[in-house]
Amino acid sequence: GAIVEHTFIVGQMNMTHLCKEMLVAVVNGQLPGPVIEVTEGDTVVVHVVNKSPYNITIHWHGVKQQLNCWADGVPMITQCPIGPNNNLTYTFNVTGQEGTLWWHAHVAYLRGTLHGAIIIRPRHGVSSYPFPEPHREIPIVLGEWWQMDLLKASMDIKDSTADDDPSAATINGKLGDLYNCSGVKEDGFALDVEPGKTYLLRIINAALFYEYYIRIAGHKFTVVAADANYVSPLTTDLLAVAPGQTLDALVVANAAPGRYYMVASPNQPPKPDFQHPTFTTRGIVQYTNENHSNGGSSGPGAEGPLSRNLPVVAPEMPDEHDTMTSYYFHGKLTALHPSRSLPVPARVDEHLLIALGLGSVCKKRGQSCKRGESEETLTLATMNNISFELPAATAAGPLLEAHYYNTGSLDMLRELPDRPPRMYNFTDPSFIPSGPREASLEATSKATIVRRFRHGTVVEVVFQSTAMWQSDSNPMHLHGHDMFVLAQGLGNYNAATDVAKYNLVDPPVRNTVLVPRLGWVAVRFVANNPGAWFVHCHFSFHLSMGMAAVFVVEDGPTVNTSLPPPPADFLTCYRKNNPVAD
Ligand code: C2O
């Protein structure tokens, strides 16, 4: 493969939307940031130069990083963060994956504006798309514009709830004409199409919070890939994409020439549990004159959109609290056969049931309150009733380094248990684990939770949502591995009966799986990539509250199945010019 090289200058920039100027962190002065376009098998080299005042890392979301965990970009898990005025070069291969992935900062809310697309095309002469070659390919990055200082929230993450300021969804950084500043409409995303041509939309949900529904009035999509794995073509007029997920969808410009809204509307929790309005955005798909592109230019001779003065047709969107439509959408995806990921391993070595919950700790000590203690409490997100805490930035190095050098410090960490400590009716909203909801969420504790797997272990994980999050669904993301999504269901998972629902023939393969609201999802993966891999909710608010763990995969028996040593320029946490302050 070729070498594709980029330089990412991380800096800050003032941007104005809705009459308010905000200072935002961006890469190379762009929002969304630069697109990395590669061919399968290429090597990507990204020089990250940190000109921002923040400690940052960049994560290559969905890139498997086989035998290359050092480049995964998770602070204090795989690397020390890149301090201000410091830099780091990430090198990784993009092998065995085709479609759309993305990159983002992996530091608190900074990923709200530090993100961009990774596009992986088939290798020429070796393979090609399993669908007709599109006329054009268009990255569609869904984000959010916040009327709050994300940077400040990032610095002060421990107390930040980020729940008082509404945000607007964005398409490729634009808010669209539902919004205005002093009567002047905001710019929206616009896509010019030629009648009869096919377009491949590479859709990324880079938003901090919600799943989005996407529709284009008068048009249908054919979904061909999800999370850089091909799916059997699914024709639908509505897409649902959860935070962290990607979808590749073909759109044929076969409607009457005119102008059509492309709408992205959030699928947010039912009121009144969680008041955090995020608003719909829309762009426009507009037909151009056929001769528009015949000359190959949009210079003075070109006509531009023939329909500039026509009214724009709007699609009807699902209700903003309609979680079931998303549930059905996700249930319809299947892998394209034959796929390089299949078959699904039939034998399972370890079963985990991970309940996604809420707990409380005493604020001052950060651990569960003692009996009768009347101290102020802090609400945390949990996995099997433990809330994840990153190893302190004062640690000698990241967890991966401790694992690699076998320092023994991993033995000191808490192990993620196989099951929730107590089995109860997880999805009954009227069931309260212990006492009145506000007063006593389950007492929890904070720890750096790890779970170790021997190389090659086939792991089945059932993620169980709980009524403690009665309002939310949880997009669970696993680093370094793709997961076979075997089944989803509503209510409590029941091992005795729900295995009958498993799709072991052609389940979709994803790196981020949406756990339905008040339901569960079962996934299987092969722990065959040695390293320390973060597994967490991609809803930023849940992640910052601790809904995370680290899966540590041991080396295999040979050099080719073992993690190589860290790269020569690997950062150390305590270097004079890399002060990593908390
Ligand atoms: Cu897209 Cu751990 O993240």
- Residue 257 domain-assigned (yes or no): yes
Do residues 243 and 191 both lie within one domain?
Answer: yes
Helices (H), 121-228: 150-155
- Residue 579 domain-assigned (yes or no): no
Weakest-pLDDT range from 42-56, 109-123, 264-278, 338-352: 264-278
Cβ within 8 Å of residue 408, ≥6 positions away? none
Do residues 107 and 242 both lie within one domain?
Answer: no
Cα(428) to centroid(ligand 1), Å: 30
Percentage of the chain modeled with pLDDT above 70: 87
Tokens 């044929």 appear where? Answer: 252
Cα(497) to centroid(ligand 1), Å: 32
Q: Which atom of ligand 1 is nearest to the CA of 104?
A: 1
Count of CB atoms situated within 10 Å of the CB of 371: 6
Q: Which CATH number do you get for residue 9?
A: 2.60.40.420
Asked if pLDDT for residue 296 goes beyond 60, the answer is: no
Look at the alpha carbons of 406, 409, 415, 416 in this order and tell me if their dihedral is positive or negative: negative
Instruction: Tell me which of 283, 306, 335 is where a domain ends.
Output: 335
Do residues 327 and 406 both lie within one domain?
Answer: no
- Residue 574 domain-assigned (yes or no): no
Do residues 185 and 280 both lie within one domain?
Answer: yes
Do residues 359 and 329 both lie within one domain?
Answer: no
Q: What is the pLDDT of residues 231-269, one digit of tens each?
A: 999 999 999 999 999 999 999 999 999 999 999 999 887
Q: Which atom of ligand 1 is nearest to the CA of 111?
A: 1
- Residue 341 domain-assigned (yes or no): no
Distance between CA atoms of 417 and 386, rounded to whole angstroms?
9
Q: Band of the pLDDT at 419, cuts 50, 70, 90?
A: very high
**Higher-scoring residue by pLDDT: 157, 196:** 196
Cα(340) to centroid(ligand 1), Å: 24
Do residues 246 and 393 both lie within one domain?
Answer: no
Counting the structural domains of the chain, the total is: 3
Instruction: Tell me which of 93, 108, 127 is where a domain ends.
Output: 127
Determine which helix (DSSP H) or strand (DSSP E) holds 326, and give its type and residue range: helix 323-331
In this structure, are strands 449-453 and 312-313 parallel, antiparallel, or unpaired? unpaired
Do residues 147 and 93 both lie within one domain?
Answer: no
- Which structural domain, as residue segments, surrounds residue 323? 131-335
Residue nearest to atom 3 of ligand 1 (CA): 61
The answer to ipTM > 0.90 is yes
- Residue 582 domain-assigned (yes or no): no
Q: DSSP of 233-259, one letter per residue?
A: EEEES-EEE-TT-EEEEEEE--SPSSE
Do residues 99 and 196 both lie within one domain?
Answer: no
Residues within a 6 A CB radius of ligand 1: 59, 61, 104, 106, 244, 477, 479, 534, 536, 538
Q: What is the pLDDT of residues 193-244, one digit of tens each?
A: 999 999 999 999 999 988 999 999 999 999 999 999 999 999 999 999 999 9
Is pTM beyond 0.90 here? Answer: yes
Residue nearest to atom 1 of ligand 1 (CA): 61
Closest CA to 135 of 250, 53, 235, 11: 250
**Higher-scoring residue by pLDDT: 358, 104:** 104
Q: Which atom of ligand 1 is nearest to the CA of 536?
A: 2
Q: DSSP of 220-234, one letter per residue?
A: -EEEEEETTEEEEEE
Q: Which atom of ligand 1 is nearest to the CA of 244?
A: 1
Distance between CA atoms of 220 and 237, rounded to whole angstroms?
4
Do residues 248 and 282 both lie within one domain?
Answer: yes
Cα(440) to centroid(ligand 1), Å: 31
Q: What is the pLDDT of residue 160?
A: 42
Instruction: Tell me which of 280, 312, 335 is where a domain ends.
Output: 335
Do residues 250 and 325 both lie within one domain?
Answer: yes
Do residues 188 and 313 both lie within one domain?
Answer: yes
Weakest-pLDDT range from 158-162, 328-332, 387-391: 158-162
Q: What is the pLDDT of residue 511?
A: 98
Tell me the chain's radius of gyration from C-alpha atoms.
Answer: 23
* Mean pLDDT computed over every residue of the chain: 88
Distance between CA atoms of 489 and 495, rounded to whole angstroms?
12
Q: What is the pLDDT of residue 272?
A: 46
Asked if pLDDT for residue 276 goes beyond 70, the answer is: no
b/e per residue 389-415 (b: at least 16 CB within 10 A): bbbebebebbbbbbbbeeeebbeebbe
Cβ within 8 Å of residue 267, ≥6 positions away? 210, 211, 212, 213, 240, 318, 320, 321, 322, 323, 325, 326, 473
Do residues 537 and 402 both lie within one domain?
Answer: yes
Closest CA to 380 of 240, 241, 544, 185: 544
Contact in structure between 444 and 335 (CB atoms under 8 Å): no
Determine which helix (DSSP H) or strand (DSSP E) holds 463, and give its type and residue range: strand 457-465
Q: Which atom of ligand 1 is nearest to the CA of 534?
A: 2
